Structure 1
Amino acid sequence: MLRIRNLVSGYGKIKVLKNVSMHVDPGEIVTILGANGAGKTTLLSTIAGLVRANSGEAEFKSNNILKIKASAIPGLGCVMVPEGRQVFAAMTVEENLLLGGHAVQKQGRKVLTALLEHQYELFPILRDRKDQLAGTLSGGEQQMLAMGRALMSKPSLVMMDEPSTGLAPLIVKEIFQIIVRLRDEGNTVLLVEQNAKAALGIADRGYVLETGKIIVQGPAEDLLANKDVQRAYLGREK
């Protein structure tokens, strides 16, 4: 579904990603691990078209997304749930969700209504809060809203940037259960996450990014058993 080859990207003269190559197959949860500043957010932002690549290739379902405007990428089925939620605080929950469905509006009101109902079924608290201003929601509720807003475009690939940041452990557990459900419903997930143990616990495969380079990759269970990964990201060593 997604294939990246020798991707170099960054900000101005600063190269953050240095020849990154990776892939995501349909129906997988793939996690990207790494310390702050490793380039994880830059990687997702480059795929989403928010940061322009310097060189390399990035294909999403055979489309060269490095040549496509960021505003057109969700219409191809690739969406990003940004770090820090970034909901529209002055709009209601339902208005935020409907805004997320902009890419599918041409398919008709019936499709949009069905998508809205699915988000309320997936996140029941959003139905209870649908007329509430998004800025008044708790952090966990805002994270669910950000996820639901992205899912309103009927994506095939959902990229999530640090969905557990700042949330209570019980809410984190619920968020990760929802991510697994998304995969079980046929979605593909590319997950950037600081909580390495939780991410590897639900992922099929993972990559470790360090100073802009992939240094370790493999099945999630192999990364959980890797002593270097344990020492750096899991706080333990067998």
Structure 2
Amino acid sequence: MLKIRNLVAGYGKLKVLKQISMHVKAGEIVTIIGANGAGKTTLLTTVAGLIRAASGDIEFRDQPITSLPAQKIPALGCVMVPEGRQVFAPLSVEENLILGGHVLRREGRQALTEQLAHQYELFPILKQRRSQYAGTLSGGEQQMLAMARALMSRPSLIMMDEPSTGLAPLIVQEIFRVIVRLREEGKTVLLVEQNAKAALGIADRGYVLETGKVILQGSAQDLLANRDVQRAYLGRERIG
């Protein structure tokens, strides 16, 4: 579904990503782990078109998207849930969701209504809060709203940047439960997450980034069992 080859990107003369190559298959949860500054967020924002690649290629469902403007990529089925939620605080929950479904406008009101109903089924608390200003929601509720807003466009690939940041453990469990359900519904997830143990616990495969380069890749189970990953990201020595 997503192919990245020799990707170089950054901010001006500062190159954060250095020859990154990776792929995501349809129906997978793939997680990217690494320390702060490793390039995880830069990678997602480059795929999303918010940062222009200096070189390399990005293909989504066999279509080149490296040079596409950011506003055209969601219509292809690739969306991003940004770090920090970035909900539209002065708008209601439902208005936020309707904005997320703008790519459905050509299909008519029925398509939008069906997507709203599905998001309220995935996140029942949002239905209860649908008339409430998004800025008055708790951090966990805002994260759910950011996810639901992205899902409104019926994407095939959803990229999530640090969805558990600053959330209580019970809310984190709920967020990860929804991510697993998305895979069960046939969606593909590319997950950037500081909580490496939780991310690898639900992922199919993973990549480890360090200073803008992929230094390890493999199945989630292999990465969980890797001594270097355990020491650097799981906070423990290898057991056994």
Q: Give TM-score, length-normalised by structure 1.
A: 1.00
What is the alpha-carbon distance in structure 2 between the residues aligned to residue 67 and residue 58 of structure 1? 9
Residue number in structure 1 paired with 2:42: 42
Q: Where do residues 40-189 of structure 1 align in structure 2 (5 Å cutoff)?
A: 40-189=40-189
Q: Partner amino acid for 1:67?
A: S
The CA deviation at 1:145 is: 0.1
Residue number in structure 2 paired with 1:197: 197
Percent identity between the aligned chains?
Answer: 76
Q: What do the CA deviations read for 1:71-99 (whole angstroms, capped 9, x no partner)?
A: 00000000000000000000000000000
What is the alpha-carbon distance in structure 2 between the residues aligned to residue 43 and residue 69 of structure 1? 16
Q: Give the superposed CA RMSD.
A: 0.4
CA contact (8 A) 2:52 2:67 kept: no
What is the alpha-carbon distance in structure 2 between the residues aligned to residue 70 and residue 64 of structure 1? 13
What is the alpha-carbon distance in structure 2 between the residues aligned to residue 64 and residue 91 of structure 1? 35
What is the alpha-carbon distance in structure 2 between the residues aligned to residue 185 and residue 76 of structure 1? 18
Corresponding residue pairs, total: 238
The CA deviation at 1:210 is: 0.2
What is the alpha-carbon distance in structure 2 between the residues aligned to residue 62 and residue 105 of structure 1? 25
Q: Partner amino acid for 1:168?
A: A
Q: SS in structure 1 opposite 2:99?
A: helix
The CA deviation at 1:237 is: 1.1
Residue number in structure 1 paired with 2:232: 232
Q: Partner amino acid for 1:43?
A: L
Q: What are the ranges of 5 or more consecutive residues in structure 1 without an aligned counterpart?
A: none
Q: What do the CA deviations read for 1:177-196 (whole angstroms, capped 9, x no partner)?
A: 00000000000000000000
What is the alpha-carbon distance in structure 2 between the residues aligned to residue 67 and residue 211 of structure 1? 24
Q: What do the CA deviations read for 1:91-125 (whole angstroms, capped 9, x no partner)?
A: 00000000000011111111110000000000000
What is the alpha-carbon distance in structure 2 between the residues aligned to residue 202 and residue 160 of structure 1? 14
What is the alpha-carbon distance in structure 2 between the residues aligned to residue 65 and residue 157 of structure 1? 14
Q: What do the CA deviations read for 1:24-56 (whole angstroms, capped 9, x no partner)?
A: 000000000000000000000000000000000
